[in-house]
């Protein structure tokens, strides 16, 4: 089981109150986690990554185990602690506030 913590605005959009728990088939990577998240919550499509290119939106960050995975390749394995559910995968809105300088 994968645990995902969404930022407040996306919890409201997805109508969830707390962590999202998902099962992921195969290797646990950013891509497989986000694919599973969007499959369960289709209203999140386009909010975390571009519809077409699937690249991460610039003001969205991915953290886990006190590390920043935002710039890792989407198919790179996430830590075992995320894959086992011991640690959550955190989706975080950048502190910059969503506006390009």
Partner 1 sequence: MSTARVLVGTRKGAFVLTSDGKRQEWDISGPHFAGWEIYHIKGSPADPNRLYASQASGWFGQLIQRSNDGGKTWEPVGNKFVYDGVPGTHQWYDGTPHPWEFKRVWHLEPSLTDPDTIYAGVEDAGLFRSNDGGQNWHELSGLRGHGSGPRWQPGAGGMCLHTILLDPANPNRIFVAISAAGAFRSDDSGQTWQPINRGLHSAFLPDPKAEVGHCVHRIAMHRSRPEVLYMQKHWDVMRTDDAGENWQEVSGNLPTDFGFPIDVHAHEPETIYVVPIKSDSEHYPPEGKLRVYRSRTGGNEWEPLTNGLPQNNCYVNVLRDAMAVDSLDSCGIYFGTTGGQVYASADSGDTWSAIVRDLPAVLSVEVQTLP
| Candidate list 25, 26, 51, 71; residue touching partner 1; CB under 8 A | 51
φ, ψ of residue 40 to 5 degrees: the values are -80, -30
Q: How do strand 2-5 and strand 89-93 relate by DSSP bridges?
A: parallel
Residue 44 contacts by C-beta under 8 Å, 6 or more apart in sequence? 10, 13, 14, 37, 38
Q: Which of 21, 39, 45, 73 binds partner 1 (CB under 8 A)?
A: 45
Q: Which of 16, 31, 40, 57 binds partner 1 (CB under 8 A)?
A: 57
Per-residue contact string for residues 61-90; x = within reach of partner 1 by CB under 8 A:
------------------------------
Q: How far apart are CA 58 and CA 99, in angstroms?
A: 10
User: Under the rule (CB under 8 A), what is the footprint of partner 1?
Assistant: 7, 9-10, 13, 43, 45-48, 51-52, 57, 59-60, 93-94, 97-100
């Amino acid at each position: 089981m994968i645990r995902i913590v969404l930022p407040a605005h996306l919890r409201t959009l997805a109508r969830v109150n707390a962590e999202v728990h998902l099962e992921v088939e195969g290797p646990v990577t950013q891509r497989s986690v986000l694919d599973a998240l969007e499959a369960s919550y289709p209203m999140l499509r386009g909010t975390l990554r571009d519809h077409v290119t699937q690249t991460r939106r610039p003001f969205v960050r991915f953290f886990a185990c006190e590390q920043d995975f935002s710039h890792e390749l989407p198919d790179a394995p996430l830590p075992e602690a995320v894959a086992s559910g011991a640690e959550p995968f955190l989706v975080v809105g950048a502190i910059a506030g969503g506006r390009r300088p």
